[in-house]
Structure 1
Amino acid sequence: MDHRLKSSLQERFARERGSYRYPAGGRTRFALVYPNTYFVGMSNLGIHIIYDLLNRRGDTACERVFLPDRTELPRYERTQTPMMSVETQTPLADFAVIGFAISFEMDYFHVVKMLALSHVRLRASERTARDPLIIAGGPCATFNPEPLAEIVDAFVIGEGEAVMPALMDAYHEGVRQGTDRAALLRRLARVPGVYVPALYRVDYDAAGRIAALSSEGEIPQTIARQWVEDLDAHPAHTVVVTEDTEFNLYLIETARGCGRHCRFCMAGYCFRRPRNRSLAVIEEEVRAALPYGKKIGLMGAAISDYPEIDELCRSILGEGLSMSVASFRADSVTKELVEALAASGLQTLTLAPEAGSARMRAVINKGIEEHHLFTAIDLGAAAHIPNFKLYIMVGLPFEEDADIAAIIDLAERLRRYMDERGSRGTLTLSVNPFVPKPFTPFQWMPMASKKRLDAVMKTLTQALRRTKKIVVNFESPKEALVQAILARGDRRLSLPLMRAAAGRGAKDLVPEMRDAGLSPDDYLTREWAEDEILPWEHLDMGFTKHYLRQEYERAESLKATLGCFDGCTRCGVCRANKERTNA
């Protein structure tokens, strides 16, 4: 073990406030792993929530492990030092349970790399009673865990607060009874919201498509996503305070889920229904943040949709604090919110029309119209916010060349309007290739080809470079294609993923797939049939495949779908939850 690396972790822990550290013995050791750097991971609110939840138990000592940054990772590799926890610098392999919190598909390579560097067996089937139990949760685990199915022992399907207490109870009961690893996994698989891949069989036909998916014996055929209905009963705010984070904010969650029904958005479907925290609870959490003097970072799918956002802004500023928001919608942003952000030092107002044409916004059911964007610029300019950013997607289903031209036209008109309103800052377009995701109406659709995405990038950059103070940033099409493979992948990707992680990571995934006899085009360019068995078919998000197909057809017909409202039972999420509650 490299003492310089160990010392670095000790110094990091010493700079933190709010961490837990328990003496050895007496508690089950749980490593909460974020497969990216500390700088990124400590800005993830989910890490704080699960860390606090587990450490408040009397039987669990949860410690955090992060991917070393680029300056330290080579030293870990050169000295063969395993990943270690921040709290006690314990090697990852020495923990009884290792839990990954996975938010992004591209971090799958880090999951494998961290296990390999820590000398933990990569294949779940090869682990014995002496090996740690590997679990994974987070958005990626909920939407489609299959690419990691040969690596992870058990997945948390849904929200951690609703699953982890029962999972840990079942784990401790199994350990007390001395059950073997196989029996322990069967016990965990009976916990609502826990998926154990080893207990499910996938059969493929001659064309390599899924022919059947079945579970063993008494194990449930489908795993229902679990979620908490009353957010006030589950606090969600920064627990460990540190200066070394991506945003350097004190995070507070205002709401969870989104009811806007944007058809490209996996979170909008899988985190239904939308739930708000009460203003009184949020204000209490704001007051708890006062000793730290940090800017408050409000978290939620669309902060401007929070029904008492103006009152909350006044409360935060009234406490002498400043604020930032994760996101807001141009059609619900208020003057008070924009002024509060400006008073907090905001220099760039970010808007997310996602598409340049009204036709494409109808396809994706965005609900944003041009006048909303111009009104937002009015509000920003009046508050002396100099810069604006647009989030745009390209390669969307049913996209035409005219829709790309509309992006250019909209950007140029917004830039001129900024000048008219006296805003002399920069208009930035953050352009991202659309990636079809599970549990969305576009889950059957192919990914736009790299050739198409490269052509769109060239068209946008060449057209907009002629206009001063417009900047175009384009996400790598190559990376987006890898993300699409992982997002819609099945468990056959586990072996190529392990081999790619041992080499150049994402750059090696496609070659390793081909070596394993898998065609990347089956995951990218092929439009899947309506009745095809999908890799995530055994997961239940509360709505049916038929409902998603209806939304796909509405997209093709440019028909709008209203957002969630009280008493609505269209998608089935609220009805399914009510039935489970009454059962």
Structure 2
Amino acid sequence: MSWKIKNHLQEILAAEEGYSLYPAGIRTRFALCYPNHYNVGMSNLGLHIIYHQINSRTDSAAERFFLPDGNLQKQYEQSNTPLLSLESQNPLYEFAIIGFAVSFELDYFNILSMLSRGKVKLLASERGENDPLVIAGGPCATFNPEPLYLFIDAFIIGEGEETINHFLDVYLSTRRKGESRQKALLCLANIPGVYVPAFYKHDYDESGVLRYIYPDKNVPANILRQWVKNIDDYPAHTVIKSNNTEFNFYLIETARGCGRHCRFCMAGYCFRVPRNRSIESIMQMISNVPAKEKIGLMGAAVSDHPQIDEICRFINERNHPMSVASFRADSVTQLLVDSLAASGQKTLTLAPEAGSVKLRRIINKGIEDAHLYKSIDMGIKAGIQNFRLYIMVGLPEETDEDIEAIIKMAFDLRGYMDKNKARGKLTLSVNPFVPKPFTPFQWMAMADMQKVSAVMKYIRASLKKEKNIEVLTESPKEAYLQGILARGDRKLSQILYEAHMLGGSKAFRRVMKTHKISDSFYLYRERNIDELLPWNILEMGVKNDYFIHELEMAKKQKFTVKCFDGCKRCGVC
């Protein structure tokens, strides 16, 4: 049966352009793993960037692994074949380094599944001298690695282009010297931006609250998040062309970080300073895109790039269709919307996040109703008929009046569309709010799940009679599981391990109960600002006093202006 798996992987590879494959024995093999299906992983620009960095060296070779799906998963199960790489179809356990790119908390279960399927020991403490080194990077590793600490030997904290090269330099040096695994990990732990959790002990009080973090005397007391000062030095674009992705775009990053200070957003705090790529760098990447290929511009808010219209003109002149990862209603331009419409985009997505002025002030969103109407005008002028709104429920200080404001906003915008002969759909994408680490809301409790579920049901019921309004809601159970994992501590690592042994995510809460750990400890407990949080070992560059300041600003419903030249408020600069 394994030959069927190999044939399937070879067929995927044959349909790609731009992958690298090196003869065995020349380079150290690096298993680059995305803990989800191929089409999801290949839509992740970070995977392309790190793949390129590893293969640009002369001493390392990256090969990709993905979570099998459909018929491929059945073939793996029936044949008991270990998880194989896409490039050479070699098993995971044969690779010297296994690196996971982790973007979503719910993929934690897939990490264990891939390691288990790859016949790699799940527990880092049980791996010996001849076992692979398992590392992880990406947003989840940067924000709160603790729920994965039992399984990961080392985490990359922050942006990875430079750190992965420092990591490989040190690791390969220890290999050449014949150093032990423990000595290699100690050397790696002293690289800026590398966190080796085995060298840090956590101590809890009787109620389960973290009291102390004890670092080994030979490692740093804190790990400083790394970021690329000049992103033009590291072009970021699609490296491997595949038509079997979620979006089928040629991805190009226009900017990194965000300075908008939205108080719910980890990226806005953990990836400061906001950095725009130069127009010359972006044009160079665009010039290399194959003819007629659709370009996907990536960034926290693509419309915030000061030369977004020039970028659009350059793309249009070369007859490329285009799309954007996101834009803000207060910075979108008519040319950008026209370019999207000309590229076949049928829906314009706006993110007010809340319906009321009060809640938008609390979260510091900075979007007003006038921006929404202006964006709809731009869309209608460009020929776009459908509009989508991203909404969060369960926000701090939310009341019934704020929920009614969402419904009123939907009816008002729908009426405005009708008045202007936009006959398409208005879609509301409604999701529970999760207070994330390294945001001013990190100390706050989540809203009660039953209440949030009732609110989403109420919004659906209130709008269901309007045939051209559609309401889509995220599963509350999944959102609240995400909340536990995002805000959790090391105790969850054992829960993940036992849940994996019992079948995965569906067993997670059952295992929590056997350990007498309640959801409410992670979800509904408001934390004191003096409490030691599981992620406090990490330093994002933002001063803790600034998070507290922004929490107070939220309580006062006061607005914080975005980053500006010469600003020294948060500490990053």
Q: Give the 5 Å matches for 1:4-403.
A: 4-291=4-291, 293-403=292-402
CA drift of 1:449 comes to 1.6
Residues paired across the two proteins, number: 573
Task: In structure 2, give the amino acid aligned to 1:177.
Answer: K
Q: Give the whole-Å Cα distance in 2 for the aligned partners of 1:478 and 1:251.
A: 32
State how far apart, in whole Å, the 1-side matches of 2:504 and 2:268 are: 29
Distance 1:357 1:22 in 2: 56
The letter of the residue matching 1:69 is D
Superposition deviation, residue 457 in structure 1: 1.1
| Corresponding letter in the other structure for 1:266 | M
2:77 and 2:363 mapped to 1: Cα distance? 45
> Letter of the aligned partner of 2:425 in structure 1?
T
Give the AA of the match of 1:93: Y
- What SS is found at the alignment partner of 2:164? helix
Structure 2: distance between partners of 1:479 and 1:493: 16
Q: 2: CA distance between counterparts of 1:564 and 1:175?
A: 44
Structure 1 counterpart of 2:135, which letter?
A: I
Counterpart in 2 of 1:581? Answer: none
1:422 aligns with 2:421: yes
CA contact (8 A) 1:110 1:501 kept: no
* 1:504, distance to aligned residue in structure 2 (A): 4.1
Aligned residue for 1:297, secondary structure, equals: strand
Tell me by how many angstroms 1:546 deviates.
1.9
- 444-453 vs 43-52, which moves further: 444-453
Specify the SS of the correspondent of 2:211.
strand
| In structure 2, distance between residues paired with 1:553 and 1:504 | 43
> Which residue in the other structure is 1:512 paired with?
511
Inter-partner Cα distance in structure 2 for 1:501 and 1:47: 25
Q: SS at 1:573's partner residue?
A: coil
Name whichever of 505-514 and 8-17 sits farther off.
Answer: 505-514
Equivalent residue of 1:282, what SS?
Answer: helix
In structure 1, the residue matched to 2:449 is 450
1:409 maps to what in 2?
408
Residue 527 of structure 1 pairs with residue 492 of structure 2? no
Question: Structure 2 CA distance, aligned partners of 1:107 and 1:285?
Answer: 31
Contact 1:514 1:520 in 2 (8 A): no
Task: Please give the alpha-carbon distance, in whole angstroms, between the structure 1 residues aligned to 2:240 and 2:290.
Answer: 14
What TM-score, normalized to structure 2? 0.99
For residues 180 and 518 of structure 2, the distance between their equivalents in structure 1, rounded to whole angstroms, comes to: 38
Distance 2:237 2:501 in 1: 36
Shift of residue 514 of structure 1? 1.9
**1:78 offset after TM fit, Å?**
2.6
Aligned residue runs from structure 1 range 558-569, under 5 A: 558-569=557-568
**Counterpart of 1:531 in structure 2: which amino acid?**
D
Distance 1:251 1:216 in 2: 42
Q: Structure 1 unaligned segments of length 5 or more: list them.
A: 575-583
Deviation readout 1:435-478 (Å, 9 max, x if unpaired): 11000000011111221111101110110001120000000000
| Alpha-carbon distance between aligned partners in 2 of 1:396 and 1:448, rounded to the nearest angstrom | 7
Gaps of 5+ in 2: none
Contact 1:113–1:502, Cα closer than 8 Å, also in 2: no
Q: Distance in 2 between matches of 1:281 and 1:525?
A: 46
Separation in 2, partners of 1:334, 1:421: 19
- CA distance in structure 2 between the partners assigned to 1:369 and 1:71 by the alignment: 48
Partner of 1:172, secondary structure, is helix
Q: Which amino acid aligns with 2:399?
A: E
What CA distance in whole angstroms lies between the structure 1 residues aligned with 2:290 and 2:32? 27
Deviation of residue 516 (structure 1)?
2.3
What letter is aligned with 1:295? K
Q: CA deviation at 1:517?
A: 3.1
Q: Aligned-pair distance for 1:147?
A: 0.3
Runs ≥4 residues deviating over 4 A: none
Q: Give me the CA root mean square deviation.
A: 0.9
The separation in 2 between residues aligned to 1:502 and 1:432, in whole angstroms, is: 30
Partner of 2:540: 541
Work out the CA distance in 2 between the residues paired with 1:107 and 1:278.
Answer: 34
Structure 2 equivalent of residue 580 of structure 1 = none
Contact residue 394 and residue 433 of structure 1 kept, 8 A? yes
Offset of 1:398 from its aligned partner? 1.1
Letter in 1 for 2:524: T
Alpha-carbon contact 1:162-1:228 (below 8 Å) kept: yes
SS in 1 for 2:213: strand
Question: C-alpha separation between the residues in 1 aligned to 2:174 and 2:529?
Answer: 41
Q: Any idea what SS the aligned residue of 1:290 has?
A: coil
Matching residue's letter, 2:490: R
CA deviation profile, 1:176-232 (whole Å, cap 9, x unmatched): 111111111000000000000000010011111111002101200100000001111
